[in-house]
Structure 1
Amino acid sequence: MRMPASVAAIALALIVGAAAGCSSPNSDGSAGPNGTTHDSPPSQAHPTLTASKLQPPVQDSRFSDPGRRDVVVDPCTWIDDSTIQSAGFDPGSRKRGNDIVAEYTFLVCQFNSSTRLMTIESGNVSLDEVRQKYTGQTRDTKVNDREALITSKSGDTCSVDMRTDVGYLGITFLLTNQGKESLKPCDGIIETANKIEPSIGKGK
């Protein structure tokens, strides 16, 4: 039996509407007709840990030096759990350290393992300033392809500081009582830095 023209028109409209609703997002990543967007590749975005207690302080202080830039890389929200675990530390121990927003700015995060405590800080202080502060205690090194300094400090502490566009990202090891039994302060710090350095990102 032949379908009336009005019914055929309605059926055709429904088919066209359904096809439009199922169309895929535009190739440029903008929203498609159904409001969905094309997900960017994970490599294009930094992992962000959203717990409120992990968020960095606002870098707007009357004590800030206007001649120094804001710190970009925040170690507590830029470095994901898998990276911390691969470095031998417990991601569940992640906590903010004593951030400083004043003449100099330092964003700080801390992690634990059975043998070491690790502090990661990101600051708007240059490597040259680090050299001057620890004259005679530093030596030049490389972390992946990034310029860095390794500093043997007093006691059971060792640091490696990597140049960033704003200043540096530093990793400090402090041996626990258990660690003192088998490790020296700088043991493994470059290997750890090599794993964490990619989290900084290119051009950062």
Structure 2
Amino acid sequence: MRLGVVVAVLYCVQFSRELSDAEVERIARMMLERPFYDLTADEQYADIEAALAAATWADDLSWQPHDEPSVRDFLRRLLAHLDAQRPWQEPPFRGLGLDRWAEFRSGALLARVRLYAPSQDRLHARLRTVPGDPAGLRAVLLRLRSGDEVALVAPPLPDGYDAELRAAAPHRAAALVIEAFLTHTGYERERVSPVGWRKRWGRGRR
């Protein structure tokens, strides 16, 4: 059986001397707040549960220092800790994938967003080039904990640090969506400027 989420978990604890209860709490919090592969909590839980049910694992785990019995014990404690956190809250935001780009490319422009370097900005790091876009626009589509769905769109690097926040119709009032974006992404308010006009590079390049 391929391990998926288990491998992602083990990458996060590979430098931990012990698979302690503190590590259980840390990884559980990560799974709920910053889920692996943008999976839901249920999907991550099911992946680990399936791995524990498997008699053998196909993945080579020799790169990490913990033996299989220790890993399995850690995973059982992780699932128990997650069970204790039910009902699970939605993460602050989840990626939607670019398959839905058509819904957002002509969506309402809500705000301009100043990005930091990808190494310092978790959303900038998630921007991907939109397939087939002649201008090389980069985007990430997000579902916020509030239920709002937005797109963060930026031109190519090296000059692509001025992004747009867009929403596809129908959507709530712009002020409410912007406030939800600030709340759930943690972006500083001074980096997000509400606008009532469409930036030039966002026109006619769809």
Q: TM-score, normalised by structure 1?
A: 0.23
Higher RCO (C-alpha 8 Å, min separation 6): 2
- Relative to its length, the structure with more strand (as a share) is 1
Bigger Rg over Cα: 1
